[in-house]
Amino acid sequence: MPDFTTLLMAVAMGMLVWDCIEVGKNDAANLINGVFGARVLTRRAAVWLAGAAVLCGALFASPVMETARKGIFEPGQLQLQQAMVVYVSAYIVDTALLHAYSAYGMPVSTTASLIFELVGASIGVSLSLGLVHWGKVASVLNAIGVSILLAGVAGFLVQRMFRAAIQDEHTDHLRVLLHGPWIAGLMLTWMAWFMVLKGMKDVPFVAVFREQVIGRLGTGGFLLVAWGALTLLVHMLATIFQERLTKRLFGILAILGMLCLAFAFGQNDLANGASPGLSAFWLWKHADVGTAHATTMPIPVWLLAACGFLMVWGMNTKSAQRVTRAAVNTGSQFDHIALYAPGWCKTLARQLLRLRPAGPDLAPPPHLDDQGKRVHFDPLRAAVIMSVSASVIAFASSNGFPVSTTYVTFAAVVATGMGDRTMARGDADLKIGRALWVVFSWFFGGLVALAAAAAVAWVLLKTGTAGLILGLGGNLLLRTYVKIRADRHEQHYHPKLPPETAPAPGPGD
């Protein structure tokens, strides 16, 4: 029978596959919120297109395992078995936590969850707080708040400004020809900045471009020149192609924004799902070298591509559909939507609504697409969601904040909805209550992840193989219980009615 250390390595490698699928169900599923909500693409087409961009991002980089090496804790101060217990405990908790969030359609940052789990597990094995770099943990918490605030303020202001220019005539040729070029130029500038600073920062020719061009012009000069050039380019194309382009301009911008976010996700965040498993394998294989080297192992490109494929697989699951649908419904321009929010969240939302008058509607009238499914927002708002998300992530990354794609994209959906005043009518208390519930769950989930990982790590270290069997068994039991409860929850809030009694939105709503 293999020793306990070998068992830990085998379990870690097996759960690497499991965790990558769970990341696809939740974190990666949020990449398509804007495009899917506006029905620019079908969900399946959006998933596969975003998945291809994720894989391309993985192939353009060979990063070191980010989450494990960011200084959250010091693996070099642990013995071999203790360090491996930390990584396995993080996986046991992470797969269960992500499964639970996804089953109920709740978006969550897999990076932040993994960081809290590593903190908790390191405390559990050492029974000491000194192993953790609390300054780094504080910066993660700070980044959560900053990213939500930035995406919220920017999404609201940009949506209100662009809506004033375009109004509800995003397919009107003359109006788009008048305002579309400068709006599109601004969005493309933001996305280009995002790709240069974050999406393709490890690509050699991009690094040279940053040094030779941006370094000489300065950030402000580069953005101004890029805006002018791209505005002129869009105007020329709109003049040449006329209505064939103007009617599709904002839908194209939304798709480009999705591709930028997916590419950056593949290059920068993809390694997080693989980091604990590969760290455990590296420790086991090079036990004589020491635990400090576990976080310096580069991940082969082919392995990153394999992890990307697993995430795309997860993006095609029913749980991923629930995550996307719930996020889109939260910012929907329809008055009545199917969502869940606790009573205290809706009560707080009603108190907030009293502080601000509703005002006239700004968004286009709600309507259905050709398949009878709800169009939750127009392509203009979808393009704003994607471009604002890209620019906020680029700005935060340039200032050293490790922001989350999930936090930023969800906040952008909600903020642009507030900019269009879709959060002030109909089921406004439910929409705002759901947003409050999601944000509360981000912080509460972090505390749960920390405490659970600490408990699991302590049990594994004290009981060995028996504790490992207990931890895996508890994980499976919890997943089964959550699935049963979540399916009942889904049937209650999204019942599958017969065609003759089904409401107009349809099953894809």
* Rounded Cα gap, residues 490 and 480, in angstroms: 15
Q: Report strand pairing: 367-368 vs 374-375.
A: antiparallel
What mean pLDDT value characterizes the chain? 85
| Torsion on CA atoms 29, 30, 34, 37, rounded to nearest 10 | 60
* Rounded Cα gap, residues 444 and 439, in angstroms: 9
Radius of gyration over every alpha carbon of the chain, rounded to an integer in angstroms: 23
In angstroms, what CA-CA distances link 473 with 467, 479, 480?
10, 10, 11
Work out the number of other CB atoms within 10 angstroms of the CB of residue 208. 10
**Which secondary-structure segment (H or E) carries 375?**
strand 374-375
Structure tokens at 243: 């209505």
Q: How far is the first Cα of the chain from the last one, in angstroms, to the nearest whole number? A: 52
What per-residue confidence (pLDDT) applies to 503? Answer: 42
| 413 closest CA partner among 488, 474, 353, 330 | 330
Give the pLDDT confidence of 348-406 residue by residue, as tens digits.
Answer: 999 988 877 667 778 888 888 888 889 999 999 999 999 888 888 777 766 656 677 88
What per-residue confidence (pLDDT) applies to 380? Answer: 94
* Rounded Cα gap, residues 375 and 251, in angstroms: 13
**DSSP 8-state secondary structure symbol assigned to residue 424:** S
Give the 3-state secondary structure of residue 64. Answer: strand
| 256 closest CA partner among 144, 382, 164 | 382
**DSSP 8-state secondary structure symbol assigned to residue 198:** I
Give the pLDDT confidence of 327-362 residue by residue, as tens digits.
Answer: 999 999 998 888 899 999 999 999 988 877 667 778
- Cβ contacts of residue 421 below 8 Å, gap of 6+? 358, 359, 360, 361, 362, 363
| 155 closest CA partner among 405, 329, 408 | 408
**Structural contact between residues 297 and 279, judged by C-beta atoms closer than 8 angstroms:** yes
In angstroms, what CA-CA distances link 378 with 37, 252, 341?
8, 12, 25
* Bridge partner list, 367: 375
- Give residue limits of the domains in the chain: 8-85+134-171+247-434
Q: Could you tell me how far CA 176 lies from the centroid of its own chain?
A: 31
- Cβ contacts of residue 28 below 8 Å, gap of 6+? 50, 51, 54, 262, 265, 311, 312, 314, 315, 320
Work out the number of other CB atoms within 10 angstroms of the CB of residue 227. 18
Mean pLDDT for back-to-back runs of 10 residues, the chain (509 residues): 83 91 87 92 91 82 52 77 91 94 90 88 88 81 82 93 91 93 94 78 78 85 93 95 93 93 76 78 73 60 82 89 92 90 93 78 83 90 91 72 80 92 86 93 91 95 93 95 92 62 41
Q: What are phi and psi of 323, to 5 degrees?
A: -65, -50
- Single-letter amino acid, residue 338: A
**Structural contact between residues 278 and 299, judged by C-beta atoms closer than 8 angstroms:** yes
* Bridge partner list, 375: 367
* Rounded Cα gap, residues 409 and 201, in angstroms: 21
Give the 3-state secondary structure of residue 149. Answer: helix
pTM of the model: 0.87
| 119 closest CA partner among 93, 145, 142, 97 | 93
DSSP of 334-372: SSS------HHHHHHHHHHHHTS------SPPPEE-TTS
Structure tokens at 17: 């596959």
**DSSP 8-state secondary structure symbol assigned to residue 300:** P
Hunting for tokens 């989450």 — which residue is that? Answer: 67
Largest Cα separation within the chain, whole Å, is 75
